Amino acid sequence: MSDAHQLPPDSVHPDEPADPSDAEIFGSEDAGVQPQLDEQREKYLRLAAEYDNYRRRTTKERQDAHLRGQADMLKGLIDPLDDIGRFAHVDPASTDAQTLVDGVAMIEKKLAKTLAGHGLEIIIPDGHPFDPALHEAVMTEPAAAPEEDHLVARTFQVGYVFNGQLLRPARVVVKQWNG
């Protein structure tokens, strides 16, 4: 055998058992690592528990905030609801039609004001350019002049936007210039 293929005397051959002194060294290193692993495991478990508590707390806070928002809006609807109740029990024989119409218009204004205070916007686009993001064309009618092309002629049903989110588009008649 040549000297080039021989292993150095201090190297360990894979087929040979490890030196017992090496096992003692590795064993002592494992004993030193175990407390660190236990400490890291405890930190992880504590952090996982804190996160779980945080997640539950924020979910509950979000639900509570949602309920408070609903309660605030419902408080604003109580007065118009009371007014509707009063009109529902009016004797039609002793009240003229104009009084009823005026009363319902008053309730509508009060209700719209309350809902607007909570972020609801009513879309009544008569005379404005047709916007497909806010309006739904249900019919067209001829425009008298080219500058009236794509203007809203009438609103069949108002639309609603709540805090920037379209709830329902306004259903409209759009003028169309046929030249």
Of 55 and 99, which is predicted with more confidence? Answer: 55
**Residue 96, pLDDT above cutoff 80:** yes
Mean pLDDT of 49-70: 95
Dihedral angle sign, alpha carbons of residues 142, 144, 146, 148: negative
Tokens of 93: 């024989």
Single-letter residue type at 87 = F
**Residue 42, pLDDT above cutoff 90:** yes
**Residue 1, pLDDT above cutoff 50:** no
Would you give the distance in Å from CA 171 to the centre of its chain?
26
Tokens of 112: 């719209």
User: Which residues make beta-bridge pairs with 170?
Assistant: 135
User: Which residues make beta-bridge pairs with 160?
Assistant: 122, 168
Which listed CATH number (2.30.22.10, 2.60.15.10, 3.40.30.10, 3.30.70.270) goes with 120-179? 2.30.22.10
pLDDT score of 175 = 95
Q: What is the pLDDT of residues 30-41, one digit of tens each?
A: 667 888 999 999
Q: What is the pTM of this model?
A: 0.63
CB of 125 within 8 A of CB of 161?
A: no
CB of 146 within 8 A of CB of 179?
A: yes
Single-letter residue type at 77 = L
**Where does the pLDDT of residue 165 fall: very low under 50, low under 70, confident under 90, or very high at 90 and above?**
very high
Helix (H, G, I), strand (E, B) or coil at 7: coil
CB of 178 within 8 A of CB of 140?
A: no
- Residue tagged 């972020």 (tokens): 119
pLDDT score of 23 = 47
Q: What is the pLDDT of residues 129-157, one digit of tens each?
A: 999 999 999 999 999 999 999 999 999 99
Single-letter residue type at 146 = P
- 137: Cβ contacts below 8 Å, ≥ 6 apart: 130, 172, 173, 174
pLDDT score of 91 = 86
**Residue 18, pLDDT above cutoff 80:** no
Proportion of the chain above pLDDT 90, given as a percent: 64
